[in-house]
Each structure stands twice: as structure tokens, then as C-alpha cells.
Amino acid sequence: MKIFTLVTLLFSLNSIAQVSNATRKVDYKAIEKEITNKKSPYFFEHLKERFIALDTTLTVDDFHHLYYGSTIQNDYNVNRRHTIDEKINGYYNSENISTEQWKEIAKYNEKVLKNDLFIDLNVFDALIAAYHYTGDSEKNIKLSNLFDKLLGAMLETGNGFSQATAMDVISTSHEYYMMNILEFPVSGQQLLRDDEGRSYDLLTIKHPNTASNADENIDEEPTEEKLAENGKLKGLYFDVTRLFELYAKMFN
């Protein structure tokens, strides 16, 4: 079963195209200073508690500090991945999910969220859907509102059309989540580096009735114009510099 929410439906290519090229770059030093200061409105534990409580007064700016600041926490593991419980995964693959099963799905994903906020963005989709199908409209509306702001915080860092406007992510799984909700089938992945030492993933899109990525010259760096030639977006850039920093730190 493929779970989509109204929030992800609103997150379209049209909304990406409207993002200004004057993107907000992530300053991890400035974020660390704020989220470790108990007197700061961005103190991490306070933001996390508000989020778990579904406090809809949280802003996109709050989520900027919460999402990117999560990688600064001592318990953050860049290698950690979410393995879905076998029973819950069985529910996801069912044609018909009962109300009781939706309640189990909600309980399971609430636990995942509390343990690791951003380990899997699909958890948000599952929870929003579960709240809908169990009749908990209040939680459905609140979490939809908050998830929209989280996506907004990510999109604020870039529209993905070029290296200069690459979307900053803290997990490669988040790259594929973004491609999935935009319904962009991925034909290939290319790791790029710029002169400043920053790292980027370019996920190319497989369009129907077009040559495969293997037929293109992948050694030539795609420009913003080439990515959108013939009216078709060829791929999206994601800034993965933070991931490489964390890997380097782990092995040092």
C-alpha cells in the first residue's frame, strides 16, 4: 500500500519552481549555538517537546533548527535506518486496513517518531493517514500542519535545480522521499563536489519514452538549463555535505 497525504500532494513541482534562488543556507555553527542554549527559543529539547505535543505554533524557522539541529545531538547516528516492523509492514501491504489496524499503525509510528524524529519521513505520512482513518481529525490536522512546515524548512534551503540551489538533507533517504512524493522515478544518482569542498547528490529522473540515463554523458556536469531542457526536469540536486562531515567525524 502506498500512503500519500494531502500535505504531500500540495508539495508539487510547481511549489518548488516558485522558490527564490536566494536560498537559506544551513549554518550548523549558528544552529548549534542556539539549540544548546537553554535560554534560546530554539533550545532543541524544548522544540522537540513542542513537536511531540503537536504544537502548531511551531514555525518553519523552528523546524529549520529542529531538523538540521538533530544532527548535532550526541545520539544522532548517520548510519541509522528505519526497519519497519514486519506486522506493521503487512498492514501497509493490505488492500483493506481495519480501524483497529490503523490504531496499531498510529501507536507504532508515534513510538518511532518519539525515538528518532527524522529517521524516516514516511512515518509522517503513515501517522497522518492513521489519524484520518481512526477519526482523530484534531491530530490529523495538527500533524499535517507541522509536516508542511518541515517540508517548507527543507525546501527553503533550495529548489534542487542546481548545485547553488541544492536542497540540504540530513539523510539520503530524504532525497528519495522527496523524489517519491513528486512522483519522479529515479534513473540514476551522481555524486558531485564543488571547488569549496561541498558534496551533492544529483538524482536524475527517468521520463517515459526517453533514453535511459546510461545513454547520456554523465561525466558532463548538468547545468540548470540542461536539467530543464525540452520542458522536462532532468533531475534534482541535494546537498549532502553534512552527511560527509558526520561520516568523517565518525571515523576520526
Encode pLDDT of 157-197 as tens digits: 998 988 999 999 999 999 999 998 888 899 999 999 999 98
Q: What is the pLDDT of residue 182?
A: 82
Strand blocks (E) in the chain: 167-168, 186-193, 199-205, 235-239
* Residue 192 belongs to some domain of the structure: yes
* Residue 161 belongs to some domain of the structure: no
What is the domain range of residue 110? 6-155
Q: What is the pLDDT of residue 94?
A: 87
Asked if residue 183 and residue 65 are part of one domain, the reply reads no
- List Cβ neighbours of 1 (8 Å cut-off, separation of 6 or more): 91, 92, 93, 94, 95, 97
Residue 142 to residue 148: CA distance in whole angstroms: 10
For the segment 42-57, the average pLDDT, to the nearest whole number, is 97
Asked if residue 238 and residue 208 are part of one domain, the reply reads yes
**Beta strand pairing call for 199-205 and 235-239:** antiparallel
Asked if residue 180 and residue 228 are part of one domain, the reply reads yes
Place of cell 554523458: 217
Backbone φ and ψ for 155, nearest 5 degrees, come out as: -65, -25
- Other Cβ atoms less than 10 A from the Cβ of 124: the count is 25
Domain boundary among 155, 186, 210: 155
Residue 111 to residue 96: CA distance in whole angstroms: 23
